[in-house]
Chains A and B, each alone.
Chain A
């Protein structure tokens, strides 16, 4: 089965217009919450600037900070693993599981493990991993992928959740009360936390100078898992580093405000060293990141702190849903990250944008997302990942528009055809015409008018 392009999937999504409106408004509400909270900080733009500079500096000295982080973490008693790609990341985690002969695994939200398809990898080896973030838990029960990196089940209404819980958790059919549903999930999750042998978490920020790391959640599920299990495995991309603990004062303020409009995430958990009897592992993953670091035009996409503000503000994302991006990280940031991972499979994504630029404006670390979308379009086309019709159309347009005489003649003929034989233009094969009228074709172009009236 071939994967649908963003345009195809979006068209299907929009077919249910009331639901599209609901999706759009729900995410717009999050954008508004973000606006409200950032406008209370006069220093907001300054914070963004600092965050951007800290990340730029870190990315420019990544080798140094990675080594420093590793040394300090090892000194703290943490075991460090390096994974060059998703496969190695999964293998390392499987080995930790197998070596310790454990099987009860809880995971708090980590987009990296999603990117590496860890759940599937472990499942193929007979190990079930339970996602404990409520949204992730819901999509896991439904065997779906998250549609948003911060709000994984944002594509679902409470009625959908109720049905899913009824099926899997035996909750009351037709009870759509969010509190009831959340409490039911909480009850089920508590049992699994208590019996967990191994907890997997992501990493929001890894601090080089201390070898420590911070995990941000609103549900406290990372802490629940880590405190109950004797083995903690934290997975991080190489770009998660910041040099100093004091830099958290910049990033923690930016992250939650950008993500949900909260001043800070409910839980910002700092992990320094394993408690007595506990094992603490960190898997540091490259998986294409160093390749992206080597792309001058795209390297600063690695500044991303995964707040998803660009998702919530994107008018295209809000009206097409996360699954239409057929990738772990959807939205505008996904559209500049994913072509690096697989250019052919993701060649449609840089085009899933009007280049309106709102994404770059909300980005707390000032990634020039819309400019990178434009640049990816050039790279994608240069690599030949473009349809024949589009290519031919562009060559035709370029030929006409490069020759003033041909341009004038084509314009005259085109407008005459539109006026005289409108049915040639106004038919369903004209994509513009499907839901929009064509502009009126005037007899005189401006040029014609100017010749007479100047």
Chain B
């Protein structure tokens, strides 16, 4: 099984630890992991800002880098969702379709494809769960509080395999953190207020860490936590799942 590791641009630049954890985790679970060196960005920042026309070159670059893999896996629900919904350029429609359907967010890849049921991971801490919207409502990684349907959660399923981890949920289990891509600067006031409110709920649970599947949400929450001088840390799911493995 050839797995292409898709490392979103801002993770590559600012959170290499998240990508390293993802890489190591996949390797340890027996995947043949490749990292195409010329990958950059999925094009989401432009497309979500109304400039989908400007993301065509990113599409082509993505296709060039990832067309040789059985699966493409990224530690980011948001970027995966973008590729799955909006990748359009760079290959025949059939190949585009194949790539769109072979791109996976890390937790869904672990649960649905690798069918992981046990992990040798240990993380003896109080951890708050931040559900990222694109992973949840976009990729259906977990059930949604708005819908009347059976409850499930792929990220939680994995976190429950981690020794010593105490998972705590905020009162509003799946409210958005306010990052929202360029929303975080063009609607700065609302964005920060949303983030502060999420953090407040986690603090009420006395958590040590806030985790989630999207580094973008975590980067935003981390920025606010640090400004508040809080000792609570943001940590990506992959880093927890890879701990002590």
How many angstroms from the CA of A390 to the CA of B219 in the assembled complex?
Answer: 22
Contact of A435 (CB < 8 Å), options: B45, B53, B227: B227
Interface contact A439-B14, CB-CB below 8 Å: yes
* A411-B146 in contact given A432-B184, A432-B223, A439-B222 (Cβ < 8 Å): no
Interface contact B12-A436, CB-CB below 8 Å: no
Contact of B137 (CB < 8 Å), options: A14, A357, A381, A441: A357
Q: Which residues of B contact A24 (CB under 8 A)?
A: 197
How many angstroms from the CA of A142 to the CA of B37 in the assembled complex?
Answer: 62
Interface contact B19-A446, CB-CB below 8 Å: yes
Interface contact A362-B12, CB-CB below 8 Å: no
Interface contact B46-A439, CB-CB below 8 Å: no
Please, how many residues of chain A have a CB less than 8 angstroms from a CB on the other chain?
76
The number of A-B residue pairs with CB atoms under 8 Å apart is 206
Contact of A45 (CB < 8 Å), options: B11, B53, B57, B147: B147
Q: Which residues of A contact B48 (CB under 8 A)?
A: 355, 374, 377
B172 at the interface (CB under 8 A from A): yes
Binds A, one of B100-108, B115-123, B162-170, B188-196: B188-196
Please report which residues of chain B, range 133-175, place their CB below 8 angstroms from some CB of chain A when the two chains form the complex. 133-134, 137-138, 144-149, 172, 174-175
A53 at the interface (CB under 8 A from B): no
A380 at the interface (CB under 8 A from B): yes
Interface of A is mostly: helix
Interface contact B12-A401, CB-CB below 8 Å: no
* A377-B49 in contact given A7-B187, A10-B187, A45-B147 (Cβ < 8 Å): yes
A33 at the interface (CB under 8 A from B): no
Greatest chain B CB density within 10 A among A35, A42, A354 is at: A354
A41 at the interface (CB under 8 A from B): yes
Interface contact B58-A402, CB-CB below 8 Å: yes
Q: Which residues of A contact B188 (CB under 8 A)?
A: 7, 11, 431-432, 434-435
Interface contact A454-B35, CB-CB below 8 Å: yes
Interface contact B14-A353, CB-CB below 8 Å: no
B7 at the interface (CB under 8 A from A): yes
Interface contact A446-B187, CB-CB below 8 Å: no
Interface contact A386-B50, CB-CB below 8 Å: yes
How many angstroms from the CA of A304 to the CA of B237 in the assembled complex?
Answer: 38
Binds B, one of A55-63, A199-207, A312-320: A312-320
Please, how many residues of chain B have a CB less than 8 angstroms from a CB on the other chain?
72
Using CB atoms, name the residue of chain B closest to A24.
B197
Please report which residues of chain A, range 374-394, place their CB below 8 angstroms from some CB of chain B when the two chains form the complex. 374, 377-378, 380-382, 386, 390-391, 394
Interface contact B13-A411, CB-CB below 8 Å: yes
How many angstroms from the CA of A205 to the CA of B219 in the assembled complex?
Answer: 46
* A357-B189 in contact given A351-B183, A378-B50, A380-B50 (Cβ < 8 Å): no
Contact of A450 (CB < 8 Å), options: B35, B172, B224: B35
* A449-B49 in contact given A354-B176, A454-B35 (Cβ < 8 Å): no
Please report which residues of chain A, range 257-282, place their CB below 8 angstroms from some CB of chain B when the two chains form the complex. none
Q: Which residues of B contact A407 (CB under 8 A)?
A: 9, 40-41
Interface contact B178-A398, CB-CB below 8 Å: no
How many angstroms from the CA of A333 to the CA of B209 in the assembled complex?
Answer: 36
Interface contact A35-B54, CB-CB below 8 Å: no
Q: Which residues of A contact B38 (CB under 8 A)?
A: 404
In the assembled complex, the CB of B176 is this many whole angstroms from the nearest CB of chain A, namely 4
B202 at the interface (CB under 8 A from A): no
How many angstroms from the CA of A10 to the CA of B226 in the assembled complex?
Answer: 24
A356 at the interface (CB under 8 A from B): yes
Q: Which residues of B contact A155 (CB under 8 A)?
A: none
How many angstroms from the CA of A446 to the CA of B13 in the assembled complex?
Answer: 7
* A402-B57 in contact given A351-B186, A436-B227 (Cβ < 8 Å): yes
* A441-B14 in contact given A315-B178, A397-B45, A407-B40 (Cβ < 8 Å): yes
How many angstroms from the CA of A397 to the CA of B192 in the assembled complex?
Answer: 23
Chain B 40-70, CB-CB to A under 8 Å as 1, else 0, gives 1101011111111111011001000000000
Please report which residues of chain B, range 21-48, place their CB below 8 angstroms from some CB of chain A when the two chains form the complex. 23, 35, 37-41, 43, 45-48
Using CB atoms, name the residue of chain B closest to A373.
B48
Using CB atoms, name the residue of chain B closest to A449.
B16
Provide a sorted-by-A list of 17 A–B residue pairs whose CB atoms are within 8 angstroms.
A14-B193, A313-B146, A315-B176, A316-B187, A351-B186, A354-B179, A355-B183, A394-B46, A394-B49, A398-B58, A402-B40, A402-B61, A403-B40, A404-B38, A432-B184, A446-B19, A450-B35
